[in-house]
Amino acid sequence: MPEPAAPQPLGNDFQAMYRAELKPVWSFLRRLGAQGRDLEDLTQEVFLTAYQRREAYDPAQPIRPWLLGIAYRRAADHRRLAYHARETEAEAAPEVPDERQDHERSLLAKEAKELVYQALDELPLEKRALVALHDLEGESVPAIAQALGVPLNTTYSRLRLARDQFARAFAAAQERRRSHVSV
């Protein structure tokens, strides 16, 4: 009698998981500074890696932190490549227009988003990942610690330092914008 196949927690549900998690993974990688074709390639690499390592996923845990941990490691690996030249074009996440918003609110939101991205771009990748995972993606610190393989207290400490550096970078970006507008 043949042995039963090893369980594959993501096997049959991989397509559904892909559809549900594509935008959060894409947004997280964008927040880590990926742009253009690199962003598309990294997003696909995350899901390819997740599929290849599906047996390692613990279905008792939420899948998003696991995927975002993979995304962080893929982005870090990508930055280390010697031939990597960062594209200068800035691409924003595809947005569904909200006709209820007035033009002024839309412009303010766009400006705030640009300032957030400018401030994130000034952070080292590790700190950028922490701020993006916790403050922008809404992940809990324990989930982030597990996803990144870092002790919980270390993650809390690094998040505090990352937030401090982000706040300084955001204030500097605002000041640059104000001085640029007033010139």
Q: What is the pLDDT of residues 51-71, one digit of tens each?
A: 999 888 888 889 999 999 999
- CATH 1.10.10.10 domain locations along the chain: 102-183
CATH topology of domain 1-85: Rna Polymerase Sigma Factor; Chain: A (1.10.1740)
Nearest to residue 62, comparing CAs of 153, 160, 138? 138
Helix orientation angle between 141-148 and 152-182, rounded to the nearest 10 degrees: 100
What is the reported pLDDT for 160?
Answer: 95
Low-confidence stretches of the chain (pLDDT beneath 50)? 1-2, 4-8, 82-93
What is the reported pLDDT for 101?
Answer: 52
What is the reported pLDDT for 6?
Answer: 43
CATH topology of domain 102-183: Arc Repressor Mutant, subunit A (1.10.10)
Percent of the chain with pLDDT over 90: 38
Model's pTM, two decimal places? 0.64
